[in-house]
Amino acid sequence: MSEVIKVANLYKKYGTVIALQNVTLGIKKGEIVGICGPNGSGKSTFLRILTGIVKPTRGYVEVLGGFVSKKVKKNIAYVSENDVFYKWMKIEELLVFLKSFYTDMDVERAKELLRKEGLDLDKKVGELSKGNRQRLKVIMAISRSPEVILLDEPFSGIDMLSRERILNLLKEFLIGGERTALISTHFVEGLEEIFSRVIFFKEGSVVLDENCEELREKYGKSVKAMYFDVFGGLS
């Protein structure tokens, strides 16, 4: 199976802060990878480099067989941790806007999902609550058929109900398709069953990269338990 994402010796520095160092790994098609680590460990930076939003200081990055170019971006869906949509746009306008850039955007499906989730097409993005904005971001991503989907903390700062709903949306989307997914998250409950692999970041480096089932067989630990083991010690 070919590698959909390939990075080698990835190094990223912001001013004097080293965000990523020595990251070398490959991700195959269809893998659903959990990216875990404390804040500032480099997870976001890693995903952003794969999206093409951030450029590496040094190192090699290849997504879908090439550099993260305009053509490659058409097959990537990225759900940012930040509120990135234009707040003055109505949801319907946002749909039209996205459709003009992503030909794989299924507007009907998006409208249906939005309806199911109770999001009014006429509302402006800025008028939505945080939970709704998160759901909007996820729906916009899963209304497309990208080959690679990257999610950066899709559950952060939202209520439990929104979280459950997003979880269900994601599960259906990921399990159904043959897509490659990277999900950076602190919450692994309910999610770790769909991870095929998990990568832990600490202070910019990869400290663990394991197949989940092997983790369970070898150590008898869940991803969550492993997380506490690796990062648990309060220092």
* Residues making contact with other proteins (CB under 8 A): 15, 30, 32, 48, 51-55, 70-71, 73-74, 76, 78, 80, 82-88, 97, 100-102, 171-172, 175-176, 188, 190, 192-196, 212-213, 216-217, 220-225
In degrees and rounded to multiples of 5, residue 188 shows phi and psi of -105, -5
Q: How far is the CB of 235 from other proteins (least distance, A)?
A: 25
Looking up tokens 């338990």 gives 225
Choice between 146 and 204, CB closer to other proteins: 146
Q: Which of 12, 25, 31, 3 is nearest to 178 (CA)?
A: 31
Nearer to other proteins, 15 or 233 (CB): 15
Helix (H) or strand (E) holding 3: strand 3-14
CB of 193 to other proteins, least distance (A): 4
Q: CB of residue 122 vs other proteins: minimum separation in angstroms?
A: 16
Cβ–Cβ under 8 Å, residues 37 and 21? no
Closer Cβ to other proteins, 112 or 189, answer by number: 189
Provide, rounded to whole angstroms, the least separation between the CB of residue 132 and other proteins.
17
Least distance between other proteins and beta carbon 111 (Å): 20
Q: Given the complex with other proteins, which of 206 and 226 has the nearer CB atom?
A: 226
**Where is 229: in which H helix or E strand?**
helix 223-231
Nearer to other proteins, 178 or 235 (CB): 178
Name, in order, each residue with C-beta under 8 angstroms of 160's C-beta and a sequence gap of 6 or more: none
Nearer to other proteins, 70 or 161 (CB): 70
**Smallest distance from the beta carbon of 184 to other proteins, in angstroms?**
15
Which runs of E-coded beta strand occur in 44-173?
Answer: 58-63, 76-79, 148-152
Question: Quick one: DSSP state of residue 87?
Answer: T
Neighbouring residues of 70: CB distance < 8 A, sequence distance ≥ 6: none
